[in-house]
Structure 1
């Protein structure tokens, strides 16, 4: 499954995860205001421009998709910050 995402900045990777019924755009003003980090901001399954083949996506589905994105981006270590569902996912 292809995941829509935006990268802002350069530096240590920080993954910003949005909440339920939101998308990556909620994090853009914050990422643009903080220099020195590479913010990776995905649209989770079924949100924003990341489509889902299933009607229901479990947290395991979300985590698997996120891990695959980070592998594709060659990110082996990152700081995670999440809001609502995104906080649950990063935990």
Structure 2
């Protein structure tokens, strides 16, 4: 199974109708899901926490705060002075 197939398999296991069903416990699977989620944030744009929370709630209402924390902890997003910005993940060209 190649990397794209593995990624699609993980995403299909944890996403239903574009929403997260649960946050994966295994770090490798969680990383794939987080890399998918972070693509909703345009690189180079700083977002206030309220906008980040709204975007993450659309993915996972039960615990969007953990999603935000995971994005920061994995280096996919950074924050300073109440602003967040994307620092990693895939970019469509």
Question: Which of the pair has the greater relative contact order for Cα pairs under 8 Å at 6+ separation?
Answer: 1
TM-score (norm 2): 0.33
TM-score (norm 1): 0.33
Q: Which has the larger radius of gyration?
A: 2
